[in-house]
Amino acid sequence: MRLTYRLLNVFAQPGDPFSGNPLAVVQDAADLSEDQMQGIARQFNLSETTFLVPPVDGADAGVRIFTPHYEMAFAGHPTLGTAHVVRALGLAGDALALSMPAGIIPVEAGGDTWTLTANPGSVQADYQVDEIAGCVGLAAGDLVGPVQQVSTGSAQVIARATDVEAVRRAVGDAAAMRRFAGMGTRGGETLVYLWCETGEGQIEARALFTQGTAAIEDPATGSACSNLGTWLAAQGRSGHWTVSQGEQVGRPSTLVLTVGEDGTVQVGGLVRDLGEGVLDL
């Protein structure tokens, strides 16, 4: 079996080919088993790999999203990057819908900048500030409550820091973090999204998550940004924010978060093509 794939960077910055979050999109994956998809994702060893499959419920294309260890119902940068490939394949135009386990996600493009509209989210759990601070190497005074588990399709812990220095010095403790695995939606893993407003309409964020026995960092996390939007809406806030992420792992990334007055959450960013290839199975 021969399969074509594309490599992209999502939430990239103009002029920098190594910015953003890398993604592999496997085309014509309808005949692959789940075990094969998981094996390919493990082979690429990126934060996520997506697979184009037949759509459902009137969507333009279907997508399955796998980390090296498990399948995700929804993830942000895979949604935007896969939409970019769907358009390139001539399956849809600048406005399209992707079906995935979390439901139908509408996506729109302006050039190579793509924006998704997240499904309605919810706050699923409240945590003590000190217990979340401790699992990422911070003191209770470094976080501002409420610290909550939020989900628009992928559950994560949203934790606001008192200042940007606290965001930057955080270090994940995998054993401590694993106690807060989000409702099983991350395959038993935990993601803590630390963020702080750094100016008018500006946010700096980091996503620390467990993978196996390690705590590592994601360069740009669209699902967590969507969850932050739901968190902000729950606090009665709306507006537009530019979110900076990934500097600590050498992958500077830019996400644009919009929270409407009705609570609608949109996340967007630049998608950059990097390469393509063939898999022989």
Per-residue pLDDT in tens (0 to 9) along the chain, 281 residues: 999 999 999 999 999 999 999 999 999 999 999 999 999 999 999 999 999 999 999 999 999 999 999 999 999 999 999 999 999 999 999 999 999 999 999 999 999 999 999 999 999 999 999 999 999 999 999 999 999 999 999 999 999 999 999 999 999 999 999 888 754 445 668 999 999 999 999 999 999 999 888 999 999 999 999 999 999 999 999 999 999 999 999 999 999 999 999 999 999 999 999 999 999 99
The CATH code belonging to domain 122-268 is: 3.10.310.10
Q: Which of 34, 48, 204, 247 is catalytic?
A: 48
- Contact at 8 Å (CB) between 159 and 184? no
Three-state SS letters, 116-164: EECCCCEEEEEECHHHHHHHCCCCHHHEEEEEEEEECCCCEEEEEECCH
- Measured between alpha carbons, how far is 31 from 280 in angstroms, rounded to an integer? 14
pLDDT at 120: 96
Among 2.40.50.140, 2.30.30.100, 3.10.310.10, 3.30.70.1450, what is the CATH number of 2-115+269-280?
A: 3.10.310.10
- Measured between alpha carbons, how far is 21 from 131 in angstroms, rounded to an integer? 29
In the chain the first and final C-alpha atoms are separated, in Å, by: 5
By residue count, the chain amounts to: 281
Listed in order, the ranges of the chain carrying CATH 3.10.310.10 are 2-115+269-280, 122-268
Encoded tokens for 117: 């509209």
165 is catalytic: no
Q: Supply the pTM of this predicted model.
A: 0.96
